[in-house]
Each structure stands twice: as C-alpha cells, then as structure tokens.
Structure 1
Amino acid sequence: MVLNDVPLGEAKAIPRTCVVLNGRGFLGRSLVSSLLKLDDWIVRVADSAHSLLLDSSDSDSFLSDSLSSTRAHYHQVDVCDVSQIKTAFEGASVVFYMDFPNLDTNDFYTCYMTVVQGTKNVINACRECQVRKLIYNSTADVVFDGSHDIRNGDESLICSWKFQDMWCDLKAQAEALVLYANNIDGLLTCALRPSNVFGPGETELVPLLVNLARCGWTKFIIGSGENMSDFTYSENVTHAHICAAEALDSQTVFVAGKAFFITNFEPMKFWEFLSLVLEGLGYQRPFIKLPTSLVWYILLLVKWTYEKLGLRIDNHTLSACYIFQLISRTRTFDCTAARKNIGYSPIVSLEEGVSSTIEAFSHLAGASSLTHYCKFNEQSKVEKLLGGGKVADILLWRDEKKSFTCFLAMFLLFHWFFLCERTFISSAAKLLLLVSIILFGYGILPSNIFGFKVQRISLSCFEISETVMKDAIATIALLWNKGLHYIESLAKGVDWNNFFKVAVSLYFVKLILSWSSTAVIGVALVLAFTVFFVYEQYELEIDGLAKFLFNYIEKSKASLMRNLPASVASSLHKLGILHEHKAAAEVKKG
C-alpha cells in the first residue's frame, strides 16, 4: 500500500519554508539554487527589486520552474519597511540573510540605514513572526585591522572596530546585532564569515581584475608576492549556510550565538590566485614587484593632498587604502570550528572553483594566454635598446635589490666627486687610495676567520676580454662614422630633415651646458633609473602619444610649406627633388 507515491511506513518529509533575503544578489542566487535542488525546502526569494527579473542562466531557469510549481515565491522587501519584511517572513522557519547587491558606498546614510538599521528591522520581524533560525552572511574582514597579518586565525579573534572601510564597519555592527539577538523570543542566530568569496555571477573581484588588466595595472605585484590568503568558492559558502541551518537544530549549544569562519581549506599565495584567474581569461599575470612602503606612501600622499586642498575624501579613496592592506597582508583562517560544529566541508575544490569562474566570465576574456605569454617572453623595445644584458636588467629593475644597490653606489660616487666640495682630481686620488687600502687589506686576510671561509677575488674580475674591447671600439667607430655622415649631409645643404635634427639637438645641448655639471649629472642619474623603467611599463601609451605628436608636426610642416612665399617653397621643393635624384643615383652605383 502506498500513500502519495510513498510506500507505507516511509513518511515523506514535509517541506520547510525559508526566506533568502537579498536572494537576487551574488550569493543569494547561489543559495536559492542550492536550496531548491534539495527538494525539501519551499523558498521565498526576498529582494528590493519590484519584480523578479530572470535571465537565461541555468539557476534562473531552475528558479522559473520552481515558481511555476509553487516551490518558490518572490517577495519585494525593503529592509527599511518592517511591514514588507513581516509579510515575507510570516510562516517561515529559517531566514538566510545574504549580502545587499549594488549599494552605493559613497552614500553613508543609505548604507547605514540599509545594513545596520535594516538588520535591526529583520531581527524584530523574525521575533514577531516567530521565525526559529536567522543565519547572517558576514565576512572574515570584520577581524582584520589592516596592520597585522592573520595566520590560521580562529573564532577567538575579536573584531578590530577600527576599520578603514565603511562596508566592513557596517557589516561588523550588523553581525554583532544578529549574534546579540540569539535566544531572545526563541530566535536562534549564527553568523558565517567567508573569506575572499569568488564564483560565477560575482560583481566585484573578477570584473575589477579585468578592468585593471585592460588598463595595464595588473602587471604589478605589491610587496614580495609571498603573502598567503584563504579563498572561498560561492557554492561552498551557500553549502555552509545550509549546514548551519541544520546544525542550529542538532548542535544548538555549540552553534547558536556563534560566528564561524568559512574557507575552501586551501590557502594559497594571494598573487598566485590572481595570476590563475588572469591567465585563464587571457591576460598577463603580475610580474613586476613594487615595494609595499612605496605604494603605501603614495596612497598617504594622495590622502594628504585631499585634506590640504580641503576636498572630501570619498569612500573610493578610503577603500583603495583598505584594498591595499588586504592584498599585501597574509590572511588565513582555521575552520576547525565550522567543520566540527556545523559539519561544514567544501564541496567544490579551489581548482574546480577557479575553472568554473573563468568559464562563467569567458565573455570578459582578452587574447589567448599563450599570446600574452609569448609577448611576455619577448624583449621590449627599451630592453633591446639597452642591449638586453646586465645594464638592461639593472636599469629596468629586474632585480630590485641589485638595481637599488647599483643606484646607491652611483649616488655615493656622485656625492663623492661632485657634492663634497673637492676638486675632481682630489676626489679621484682619495677614492683610488681608499680602494687600494681595501684591496690590500682584503688580500692579507687569512683564508679562515673564526670558521668563516674568506673568498678570494679572482684576477679575472679585473680583466676586460678582447671581445668586449673590440665591441666597444666598433661602437665608437660606428658613432664616429654616423657623425661624419651627418656632417657630410649638412655640407651638401640638401637634407632639411637632418638640418632640423642637428639644430634642435645642438640647441638642447646648449641648454644643458648652460646648467652646472653637477645638476646635469644628478638629473641624468635619476632619469637613467626611472625613464627606461617607466617607458617599458607604458610603452603602448607613450608610443601612441609620440605618434600623435609626430603626425601633428608633419601636419604643421605641411601647413607651413603652404603658407611660405611661392619662390621659397619652389626653391625648397627643387632642393628636395635634387636630393632624391642624388640619393637614387648613389643607390644605383652601390
């Protein structure tokens, strides 16, 4: 005998009613889909939109079918309107309180009323409607103060309450309200703190990375690039919410009123994670390391400039400071409590999560990863100009320590010869004497000092190979011959382009020589260690600007020729034709 297609003796579970508040946001959509797939939930999707706009995605198709079968319902809810909240909550046993999508973080009043006051309204509505369980989606950022690393942090960490990011501040207040409301009027609450959530449909991390990559900013690594972070795939976050709902019944003492960190259990280098996403979408992975202190001082300078100019520091500027701290610090969390008390374990690995995310954002992909990789291995223009050897590595800051050491050595030499108020010969003599004393002292040192072996300097370090000397002489001869070619061209008086090049160059030389030699050498030293590096990073932009200026000069030259008197223009034209004929004749003779 069967009853409703279920064999007698097997009671069919009665579907429970739950509310997913902000169910059309990034995590809200994922949670709604996961709940509907379990078949034992009636899901009320609550959001601020006037109507439920569905797209062609698989999750929305599934939701559409569930709406038709009355397993899902939609409620428009403004969390500032208690009556709307009550209507959605009436008869529900569980409320999943997810993140608000598309909040304007520059409007503090709206954010505060939505996040903090809205949470108070939600709690009160839960109590009045006799909702049994409230699960709040918080963030691991609530325990991060920005100035200290977190290594395997657990729930004993307290909220810093000194936030540079307004959103984290408001989330921390809302979390505290939810946890404080536990066991009041029979309401059981808990909060989940996922770390660095990513996945299909998210609107922050991947779109931001793509925009930065298209502007050329993702080539930089801030700091050493060794800082570790925990990441959480969106489906694992929604799985944790469902686990928490079940645990509030079976493990009430250990779960109610508590907060739990949620991660993928797979901490990895923060910059390696970004590299995987960027390469998967066809963009170049970060490879240029910038000192953390340098970037931080730049951000402080921007903030100081705003204050001095009397400008209001917007939340984007403050968020930039906070994001800088997030990406340059280690932040890993211990999820033992979540595993033990709510039974959470990731159901999607980090590798699978990254692959799914890349596939979901394929419409934002750039060129193929292979193309970017090949371009990355090719020498840049400036590297070819510098010869691609040790000099190029130093001036292009391939190795920060080596480049900084060379810059410091050059600066000390500059100070020794030009800033010490001695004659050049006196400075050179003293330097040679100092070097001689150091070399002699190094030479008489014993081979072993207190167990430390003293390395001897090989004589080959002071030798210059014949190849290097031949190349240097050949370069000098080439430059000499080029100079003679220019002089010959000027003597013929037919090549106006060369004349203008030489004239402009000599004018700049005259300007440079009018300065003191100390200033010229000092400026040249600074430019040598900055100009090449900057040009390599912004090669396309600078070349584009140069091309624009060149085209402008050409147009100006053509306009000038049109406005010259006819006799002068005719003479210049004839000289140009004569020069072309002579050049052609020389080519034929060759």
Structure 2
Amino acid sequence: MEDDAFHDDSRLNTCVVLGGRGFIGRSLVSRLLRLGNWTVRVADSAPTLHLDEYDSDLEDALSSGRASYHSVDVRDKPQIVKVTEGSYVVFHMGAGDLRSHEYYHCYKVIVQGTRNVISACRESGVRKLIYNSTADVVFNGSESIRDGDESLRRPLKFQSMLTDFKAQAESLVKFANNRDGLLTCVLRPSIVFGPGDTEFVPFLVNLAKSGYAKFRVGNGENMSDFTYSDNVAHAHICAVEALDSHMESVAGKEFFITNLKPVKFWNFVSQIVQGLGYPRPSTKLPVRLVSSVLSLLKWTQEKEGVGGYYDTAHQFALLASSTRTFNCNAAKKHLGYTPVVTLEDGIASTLQWFSRDLEKSDDTIIQSKADQLLGCGKVADILLWRNEKNTFISFLFLNLLYYWFFFSGNTFTSSAAQLLFLCAVALYGLAFVPSNIFGFQVRKIPPWRFEISESTVRDLSRDIVVAWNHGVRSFKSLSRGGDWIKFFKIAGSLYLLKLIISHSLATFLFTAMSFSFTAFFVYEQYELELYHLARVFIECLTVVKGTVLKNLPLPDASSKPMFM
C-alpha cells in the first residue's frame, strides 16, 4: 500500500507524534509532511525545538502552520490531553534512550507514560492510537526464532528491563482497543537502523572506535531481520488506513515489521563497519565466554540500580549470536505493508549520513600511546613502520652492525677499529667520485654534517647531569630507608642488569632489537583492544573481590577475648 493512496478528500487530518524528535519519530514526521495531507503536532520531552540541517521539511511546515511543536512529559497526563485534543490519530513512538536511567524512571516513562497516553486519548476523543514497540518482546535471548509470526508467546523472562516495560506497554495498548471508541494497533519492528540512529549503528561505531569491531561473536552464520527507519514510518501510516478498512483484523493486534530480507547478522555489521572505514569483523570469540563476562558486568550495574554500556553490550551479544527472523505476512495482508526502501538503499543512506557525521566529529588526530612512548619523532616513525623504506634500511643496518660486532670472530675493540677504518676509507674515496655516474646522482656528504652544535652539546650535557642527579637522589633516598617501593625498583633493575651481563649480551641485544621492531607495532595496532580487555579484566576482578568480601563472616562483637 502506498502512502499517498490515503484520504481521497482534501481535508487535512491532524495527528500527534509523541516522541517526534526521536530516531523513528523524526522519520515518521518527515514522511507525514511529505504526504501533504496531514497537520502534524510534534510532541517530545525537550522544552524547546532545535532544528538541524536534516529538518528542512519540518522547518517549512512550521513556517506554513502545517506543523507545530509541543513540549510534553508523558508522565504528566494533562499535558498529553492538551496536545491530543482535536487530533485524529496519535502515534506513540516511545521515549528515547533510557538505558542510562534507573528502574523507577524507566517504568514511569514507558509503562505509566503509556497508561497516561491511553487515558488522554480516550478523554480527548482520539479515534486511533498506533504504538511503536519492538520485536525484542518475543525474544528470550537464548532460543533462536526462525520465521516467527504473531503467534509467538512472550518469554517468561525478558532479556532486559526496557524490553519488559515495552511488553507491559504493549499489553496496555491492546487491552485499550475499542474502549470509548479508541482503536489501537501495535507494531514490532526488528533492529531498526537508518540516518539519525541513536542506538544500533552508534553502538557499532563505538565498537569500531574501541577496536572491538574486529571481533565476531559466534560462527557468523546466524540470520537476522533488519528494518530501515523509513519503512517503519511507512508501516505506521499503513496502520492508520488499515484500522478503517480492516478494523476487525487490525484493531487490538500486533504486527512484525521488517525489510522482508533476512541476512546474516555479521554480514550486515561488516557492511556498516567497513563502509565507515573500519576493519570488518574477522576474529571469532566463543559465545559462552563473551556472554558470561558481559552477564557478570551487567549484573553489577543492575545491583547499583542503573543500566548502561554493559546492558547494551549484553543485548548486542545475544542478537549477534542468535538467529532472529520474522514472518511479516500478517502486516502485508492486513496493513498492506511492503517496504518502500530496499535494504541495500537503506544501508547506503545510513553510511552516507554517518560518514558525514563522523567527518564533523573526527577533526583531531589522537596520538597513540606507542607513539608517545617512542617520543613522537623519527624513532617512532621507524619502529611503528610508518615509512617501510626507512624501517627496512634501519633494520638492515642494525643487523649488519650486530653481525659485525658479534659474529665476525673479532673482539669488540678490533671490530670497532675496523669499522672506523672502513668509514674513513669510504669518506676519503667518496671525495674523488664524480657527482654523476651514468645518469645516477651521487650525493656528497657536506662537512657540516659532522659538526655538533653548541646547543646540542648543552642539551646532552644537561641530560647527563639530570640523569646523574636523579640517580644520586635515588641512592640518598635508599640510604634513609622506609621507601620499599623505590627499594624494589632499584634492586629489581640492578638484578635484571646482573642477569643480562652474566648471560650472553649478544642474545640480549638480538632479542631487544627484534622486540623493538615488532612489539611496538603490534601494540599500536591493538592498543584499544588491549586497553578495554584490561579494563574488563580489572572490573571482573573488582566484582569478584567485592563479592568475596561481602560474603566473609562478620566478627562477633559479643565474643570476648580469653586471657591465659
């Protein structure tokens, strides 16, 4: 069913979009305004309306009077009654991101807020109420769903607090159907994405920035249904007309909404991540390991009464490792729904939007810790392989020196003397070589190359003096005693030096050289992954420590010491 097939008369119908500045709400408002036969009241919790470059349709409609903005708190019923008076239909899109809020606030906004919306619609004489829910309400997090339809039952335990509240709000909307002339309908889109996405795609971007997007949970064969935001908006408009033409089969019912094209979950994620310039997921992680760690971290946050990053990460891990496909035959038959944007075009539009958004935010280049450790200079460029030619030449030169001093069969002194002799002969002979040999330019070494400036000598002398004074202060502090940390640092360093000298110096130098040309490069490539893994490991240890200390028996205050 096409959107522009609605309403043969030229009368403008008034609708209210609650949550109209949210992700899906903005798509719905834009689509309603483009149809041309709706007067749209945009209602949201923000006290004032802030427009951006993507709100051109809304800006024009506000100027012409075809749209208006209303600040509404769904926890306040009188505000809802005021904005819904005289409206034909109310689209209840739900609140924005509530993951960082505590339990009671989420309940008041989602469940009690929906109860207020229903009561206000009945009081205001609203004819239709369309509620935007989620396909998550039938997913328990462990059992796969293959071609699931509306006959699926809700799980006994939901995967998250927000999903639980959404399911409760669904029940309220369905139960309110055909009471005081109000017709209701529930839509369940599956994994919505698109321009302006505030949850799924931004989570993928944060994963990519943190380095976690290189990892893949499970075998990567699980299938999922995704839904482009404009298709969700189109489904809401289809539901309005269907409540008139197919009232018995639509009113009080729920419908799954997808792009009708199931794909492998990790293929979709790879297209998004790679399209934004990040490496595609390649390293497999066991599902049980990831799920166990995230469940533990999520549990600690729930004990504190808040949701957050690990709650979202745990839900993502469940989606990423399970098959979730839905049958939309009911929506096609009774709502007349078919996607108006293909999955491929939706992905392209999403990538275009987020690419521009990332360009605005990524104006500064952050130096890596490996670069900072190496001084952010020529040494860093060589050891981090930023110029392969210079790195290869440096590595070859160091290997030649290593061979010359340790494998030539001569003593260190004779090897140094021979090297200096060869350098002197080469420099003297270079003076007699013509500047051009068969078209190849021969670069001469100017005399000033061998000079050391006074400032360099002063800096070198100052560094030596600083190092000497630091050593003297350390030994003075050691002689006074009491600083055990400094004692172990000095003693450990001297013992390590003793081990190096007592064993083969050649082996130590070869190991250090190989380590320098590999370890810093590898560390820079996986710096964020190592940092976040270390953070997760430390948080797990903290949780275990707190649990152990909490379960230790308390000392008995009533017991008295016994004296012999």
TM above 0.5, yes or no, is: yes
- Would you say 1:100 and 2:23 are equivalent positions? no
Distance in 1 (alpha carbons) for counterparts of 2:165 and 2:529? 46
Distance in 1 (alpha carbons) for counterparts of 2:519 and 2:116? 55
**CA displacement at 1:15 relative to structure 2:** 1.3
- Would you say 1:132 and 2:55 are equivalent positions? no
**CA displacement at 1:321 relative to structure 2:** 2.4
Distance in 2 (alpha carbons) for counterparts of 1:544 and 1:112? 37
- Would you say 1:202 and 2:200 are equivalent positions? no
Task: Give the corresponding residue for 1:473.
Answer: none
- Would you say 1:489 and 2:481 are equivalent positions? no
- Would you say 1:354 and 2:351 are equivalent positions? no
Distance in 2 (alpha carbons) for counterparts of 1:231 and 1:536? 36
Q: 3-state DSSP class of the match of 1:152?
A: strand
Task: Give the corresponding residue for 1:460.
Answer: none
Task: Give the corresponding residue for 2:499.
Answer: 507
Ranges in structure 2 where 5+ consecutive residues have no aligned partner = 1-6, 363-383, 389-400, 420-492, 504-517, 532-564
Choose between structure 1 and 2 for higher RCO, CA contacts under 8 A separated by at least 6 residues: 2
Amino acid at match of 2:189: P
**CA displacement at 1:492 relative to structure 2:** 8.3
- Would you say 1:541 and 2:527 are equivalent positions? yes
CA deviation string 1:338-393 (max 9, x = no partner): 000000000000000000011111134589xxxxxxxxxxxx99xx9xxxxxxxxx
Amino acid at match of 1:180: F
Distance in 1 (alpha carbons) for counterparts of 2:135 and 2:519? 38
Task: Give the corresponding residue for 1:68.
Answer: 63
Q: 3-state DSSP class of the match of 2:47?
A: coil
From 304, 307, 329, the counterpart of 1:312: 304
**CA displacement at 1:320 relative to structure 2:** 2.8
- Equivalent residues of 1:150, 1:331 under 8 A apart: yes
How do 1:561-576 and structure 2 match up within 5 A? none
- Would you say 1:48 and 2:45 are equivalent positions? yes
> How much identity, in percent, do the aligned residues show?
53
Deviates more, 1:314-323 or 1:125-134: 314-323
- Equivalent residues of 2:405, 2:412 under 8 A apart: no
Distance in 2 (alpha carbons) for counterparts of 1:68 and 1:55? 15
Distance in 2 (alpha carbons) for counterparts of 1:37 and 1:251? 25
Amino acid at match of 1:22: G
**CA displacement at 1:503 relative to structure 2:** 9.1
- Equivalent residues of 1:20, 1:32 under 8 A apart: yes
CA deviation string 1:429-470 (max 9, x = no partner): xxxxxxxxxxxxxxxxxxxxxxxxxxxxxxxxxxxxxxxxxx
Task: Give the corresponding residue for 1:34.
Answer: 31
Amino acid at match of 2:337: Y
What is the total number of aligned residue pairs between the two structures? 399
Q: 3-state DSSP class of the match of 1:100?
A: coil
Distance 1:125 1:276, change over 3 A: same
- Equivalent residues of 1:281, 1:364 under 8 A apart: no
From 174, 179, 183, the counterpart of 1:188: 183
Distance in 2 (alpha carbons) for counterparts of 1:132 and 1:112? 26
- Equivalent residues of 1:127, 1:187 under 8 A apart: yes
Task: Give the corresponding residue for 1:345.
Answer: 338
Task: Give the corresponding residue for 1:427.
Answer: none
Q: 3-state DSSP class of the match of 1:218?
A: helix
CA deviation string 1:92-127 (max 9, x = no partner): 110000131243533211111111000000000011
- Equivalent residues of 1:188, 1:257 under 8 A apart: yes
Distance in 1 (alpha carbons) for counterparts of 2:59 and 2:154? 40
Distance in 1 (alpha carbons) for counterparts of 2:526 and 2:195? 32
- Would you say 1:20 and 2:6 are equivalent positions? no
CA deviation string 1:161-219 (max 9, x = no partner): 41231111111111111011111111110100000100011111222222221221100
Amino acid at match of 1:203: T
Q: 3-state DSSP class of the match of 1:136?
A: strand
- Would you say 1:287 and 2:282 are equivalent positions? yes
Distance in 1 (alpha carbons) for counterparts of 2:219 and 2:320? 11
**CA displacement at 1:315 relative to structure 2:** 2.1
Distance 1:544 1:17, change over 3 A: closer
Distance 1:265 1:486, change over 3 A: farther
Q: TM-score, normalised by structure 2?
A: 0.64
Amino acid at match of 2:122: R
Task: Give the corresponding residue for 1:88.
Answer: 83
Q: 3-state DSSP class of the match of 1:315?
A: coil
- Would you say 1:157 and 2:143 are equivalent positions? no
Distance 1:255 1:283, change over 3 A: same
Task: Give the corresponding residue for 1:257.
Answer: 252
Amino acid at match of 1:280: G
Distance 1:287 1:490, change over 3 A: farther
Q: TM-score, normalised by structure 1?
A: 0.62
CA deviation string 1:66-117 (max 9, x = no partner): 1222211222211111111011110111000013124353321111111100
- Equivalent residues of 1:48, 1:78 under 8 A apart: yes
How do 1:153-552 and structure 2 match up within 5 A? 153-300=148-295, 302=297, 306=300, 312=304, 314-316=306-308, 317-365=310-358, 484=407, 488-489=411-412, 504=496, 507=499, 536=522, 539=525, 541=527
Distance in 1 (alpha carbons) for counterparts of 2:530 and 2:239? 56
Distance in 2 (alpha carbons) for counterparts of 1:70 and 1:248? 27
Distance 1:507 1:486, change over 3 A: farther
Distance in 1 (alpha carbons) for counterparts of 2:69 and 2:278? 39
CA deviation string 1:410-442 (max 9, x = no partner): xxxxxxxxxxxxxxxxxxxxxxxxxxxxxxxxx
- Equivalent residues of 2:404, 2:415 under 8 A apart: no
CA deviation string 1:112-163 (max 9, x = no partner): 1111000000000011111111000000000000010111110000111412
Distance in 1 (alpha carbons) for counterparts of 2:212 and 2:278? 11
- Equivalent residues of 1:210, 1:364 under 8 A apart: no
Distance in 2 (alpha carbons) for counterparts of 1:493 and 1:534? 30
Q: 3-state DSSP class of the match of 1:209?
A: helix
Distance in 2 (alpha carbons) for counterparts of 1:20 and 1:276? 32
Amino acid at match of 1:507: L
From 99, 107, 117, the counterpart of 1:112: 107
Task: Give the corresponding residue for 1:141.
Answer: 136
